[in-house]
Amino acid sequence: SQGYLRVGTHLAIEPLQLEDSEQTSSDILRPKTLREFLSFYRDSMQWRAKRRHALLEGIGHTGGRRSCVRSLDLSDYDPEERTLTFLNRPESGTRLKRGDSHQRKVVLSEEPNEVLHEYVERERVDV
């Protein structure tokens, strides 16, 4: 604890309540914008294979939702086979939008696989 707030302050804050319709976004990452972002990250010494880049590679290559890509465990990635395996894990709170019917294995092309491998080796923090 850094001591910035008094103990129990969180109890005085009322959590934000959203309607079901407010809990999703209709924002779409357009293909042209995705290509521009990926080009920037792939060519950047500073930003290549950082968390945002790895996330965009995953979303762009698999077509998965951000929450779907974020739900991946390290064991779901096989750099040798170049695959990501999406599993529905309701017991751990990482559900796929349509449950077990959306479980799948996706083969990665060379560039996304390289970026994910670099991210895992250099940037990923073990939890």
> CB count, 10 Å around CB of 102?
15
CA distance 106 to 122: 23
CA distance 78 to 97: 23
User: Residues with Cβ < 8 Å from 112, sequence gap 6 or more?
Assistant: 57, 58, 60, 61
CA distance 73 to 109: 19
Domain assignment of residue 64, yes or no: yes
How confident is the model at residue 11, as a pLDDT? 76
One-letter amino acid for residue 62 of the chain: T
Query: How confident is the model over 26-45, as a mean pLDDT?
Result: 92
Encode pLDDT of 39-97 as tens digits. 999 999 999 999 999 999 999 999 887 778 878 899 999 999 999 999 988 888 888 87
Domain assignment of residue 2, yes or no: no
How confident is the model at residue 21, as a pLDDT? 64
CA distance 33 to 66: 16
Range of the domain at 111: 28-123
Domain count, the chain: 1
In CATH, what number is assigned to the domain containing residue 95?
Answer: 1.10.443.10
Average pLDDT, the chain: 86
